[in-house]
Amino acid sequence: MEQDLELLQFPDERLRKVSKPVERFDAGLTALAESMLRVMYESKGIGLAAPQINHPTRMIVIDISEDRNSPLVFVNPKLTSFKGNVESNEGCLSVPEIRTIVKRHKTISLLAQNLDGSKINIEAGDLLSICIQHEIDHLDGKLFIDYIPSIKLQRLRKQIAKQKKLSNNQAPQGTTVSIV
């Protein structure tokens, strides 16, 4: 991974910054999107927001296709409407090995731009809707664990600290913590 594309991990405070809208649609933006897709694929994720690699820019990339060959790039994404509710068992590349249930909108309407600045307006449901909502949260400095009640979040923080301590002591990998 490129040095300036470090995948930030909770509790890094840079994950809490609200991202700035993209105003310049140029080769640098395209290069950032390509780098984000590479990081997402290498990390085996289905979505990534620019703040997760320390670029507080309002851009997300997603690929929920089975063959991992249908990347989506949304610049300045904004939900314009939503319907229904669904519970989603979510994880995050910035909070590794943690999964929890999050309530999301079942279907959404999204207004965004593509890499040349053209407007995109889509309707999304199912996994795409959930993924878009998760990644937009990153743009607003919010993590999926923020949906956890405070008492469970305190336990989660302790478990994360314990996992980090164990991994620093070269403990075997693979512990999964699930807070529901």
Parallel/antiparallel/unpaired status of strands 59-62 and 47-49: antiparallel
Cα separation, 144 vs 99, whole angstroms = 9
Parallel/antiparallel/unpaired status of strands 59-62 and 177-179: unpaired
**What is the 8-class DSSP label of residue 68?**
S
The residues annotated with a catalytic role in the active site are 135
Cα separation, 9 vs 143, whole angstroms = 11
Cα separation, 18 vs 51, whole angstroms = 8
Close Cβ partners of 102 (under 8 Å, ≥ 6 residues apart): 87, 88, 90, 134, 144, 147
